[in-house]
Amino acid sequence: EAQVTQNPRYLITVTGKKLTVTCSQNMNHEYMSWYRQDPGLGLRQIYYSMNVEVTDKGDVPEGYKVSRKEKRNFPLILESPSPNQTSLYFCASMSSLAGGNEQFFGPGTRLTVL
């Protein structure tokens, strides 16, 4: 089954404790992206990657890091989480060849930073 998976699905942590949210897709997609969803703001892009070893900032990159060492994986790293990073996070992937911007989303990771 074609899918985007994220782990963990739920995470409660404390300020300053480094964490990683993993994202993996099995569709051989070149493009991957991270979004956060906050009430009244919709989804905002954090980082994206056009292909392996190619990453770039989205609209709200502060406090986040990413890496793209393999095509299928795109982890999101919070080196020193703060309460304002409490949010619902989505990973997405897309085939660059297909065009049209149809992105496939993972199920989401709900993060709470105390």
Partner 1 sequence: DQQVKQNSPSLSVQEGRISILNCDYTNSMFDYFLWYKKYPAEGPTFLISISSIKDKNEDGRFTVFLNKSAKHLSLHIVPSQPGDSAVYFCAASIDSWGKLQFGAGTQVVVTP
| Pairwise CA distance, residues 49 & 45, whole Å | 11
Q: Quick one: which of 44, 65, 71, 72 contacts partner 1 (CB under 8 A)?
A: 44
Q: Determine the number of helices (DSSP H) and then strands (DSSP E) in the chain.
A: 0, 11
- Find the distance separating the first CA and the last CA of the chain, reported in whole Å: 36
User: Are 67 and 75 within 8 A, CB to CB?
Assistant: yes
- Does 108 sit near partner 1 (CB under 8 A)? yes
Q: Are strands 87-94 and 65-66 parallel, antiparallel or unpaired?
A: unpaired
Q: Quick one: which of 45, 73, 86, 112 contacts partner 1 (CB under 8 A)?
A: 45
| Pairwise CA distance, residues 51 & 90, whole Å | 18
Which region, judged by CB under 8 A, interacts with partner 1, from 14-22, 68-76, 77-85, 105-113? 105-113
- Does 102 sit near partner 1 (CB under 8 A)? yes
- Does 62 sit near partner 1 (CB under 8 A)? no
Q: Quick one: which of 11, 19, 43, 77 contacts partner 1 (CB under 8 A)?
A: 43
What is the binding site for partner 1 (CB under 8 A)? 4, 31, 33, 35, 40-45, 48, 50, 58-59, 90, 92, 94, 96, 99-108
